[in-house]
Amino acid sequence: MRRMKKGPVTFILMGLTDHPELQLPLFVLFLLNYTATVMGNLSLMNLICLNSNLHTPMYFFIFNLSCIDFCYSFVFTPKMLMSFVLEKNTISFTGCMTQLFFFCFFVNSECYVLTAMAYDRYVAICKPLLYKSVMSPKICCLLMCAVYLMGFVSAVVHTGFMIQINFCASNIINHYMCDIFPLLQLSCTSTYINELVSSAVVGTIIILSSLIILNSYAMILSNIIRMSSAKGWSKAMGTCGSHIITVGLFYGSRLLAYIKPSSAEAADEGKFFSVFYTLVVPVLNPLIYSLRNKDVKLAVKKTMKRMTG
């Protein structure tokens, strides 16, 4: 089988579907999704910046989560939208590796941010008297630096191993973006090491962060059960509810998407689940954290009053 050089390779992204009658409706749907994601996360970030009552550790992490979702949407959505209107949606080798790097960086960083948020809720509910000292501005900044550093390292590992691959005559990626496993399927050399490293990195990130999140919420639940006040119970569940919904959507869809496809149908299912954590979760996060949150609703009212008054 003829090998292709690493440098000048041009990939063709198959997109989400090859049914012509679905191209226009999906283009409109995902364009609206893209606009809502950008506007929603940008609005939430501005709201947190402009209202001093939201300058707390919890909203500091929500701000960073929105920032990740905002940047995340620019990595692959424009290219995905092009696949609905172009007959052949191509991407260069350099562009593909760049997309893969930033995709890995942002998606792994989001895992770590959600983990940090779970720890923040644990301290707030289980150790309220120590909250200000444990979650001080300095500690929060250090946590976020660690989040982005670990996201960067995992992205470098994934991209570094992918660059070493020799790609075969087939350069058609059965996906709407340059994701790890669809790219590995194009290799004409053994991908055992790449698959092992990718599975180890993804598995470690998901398992460790899931364990920390589950442990945090187990202790929160234990603390809530001991609460005699119905008001305290309601407040605790209210502050954790939004985070639980986000974690469930993000981790659930990511786990389903990363089950290695063994057939064309399974690969299509993988693309479907990828849509959830790459497109659905980022657009839902601002709604989840605003519609269920009294502080955010109050901040919206204050901001609107300031703008109209």
What pLDDT, in 10s, does the model give residues 99-108?
A: 999 999 999 9
Token match 């004409």: residue? 188
**Which of 74-88, 152-166, 250-264, 270-284 is predicted with the least confidence, judged by mean pLDDT?**
250-264
Query: Which residue stretches of the chain are H helix?
Result: 20-50, 57-85, 93-126, 131-134, 137-163, 180-184, 192-225, 230-257, 264-275, 281-291, 294-308
Secondary element (H or E) of residue 3: strand 3-4
Spatial CB neighbours of 209, under 8 Å, sequence gap ≥ 6: 111, 112, 114, 115
> Bigger pLDDT: 47 or 229?
47
Give me the phi and psi of 16, to 5 degrees please. -80, -35
Sign of CA dihedral 105, 275, 62, 218: negative
With a CB cutoff of 8 Å and minimum separation 6, the contacts of 36 are: 283
Cα dihedral 207, 197, 257, 277 sign: positive
* R_g of the chain computed on alpha carbons: 21
**Is residue 267's pLDDT more than 70?**
no
Question: Is 251 a residue whose pLDDT tops 50?
Answer: yes
SS3 91: strand
Q: Determine the average pLDDT of the residues in 52-70.
A: 94
Contacts of 80 (CB under 8 A, 6+ apart): 13, 15, 16, 30, 176, 177
Q: What angle do CA 133, 138, 142 make, to 5 degrees?
A: 120
Which of these ranges, 82-91, 145-154, 244-253, 268-277, has the smallest mean pLDDT? Answer: 268-277
Q: How high is the pLDDT of residue 225? A: 79
Q: Hey, which residues does 13 pair with through a beta bridge?
A: 173
Nearby residues of 93 by Cβ (< 8 Å), 6 or more positions away: 6, 7, 8, 9, 10, 11
- Domains assigned to the chain: 9-308 (1.20.1070.10)
Distance, in Å, from the CA atom of 290 to the CA atom of 303, rounded to the nearest integer, reads 14
pTM: 0.89
Q: Does residue 269 register a pLDDT over 90?
A: no
Share of the chain above pLDDT 70, in %: 88
Provide the pLDDT confidence category of residue 230 given band limits of 50, 70 and 90: low
The winner for highest mean pLDDT among 100-109, 236-245, 283-292 is 100-109
53 in Cβ contact with 299 (< 8 Å): yes
Instruction: Give the SS3 label for residue 4.
Output: strand
Q: What is the mean pLDDT of the chain?
A: 85
Q: Does 249 have pLDDT greater than 70?
A: yes
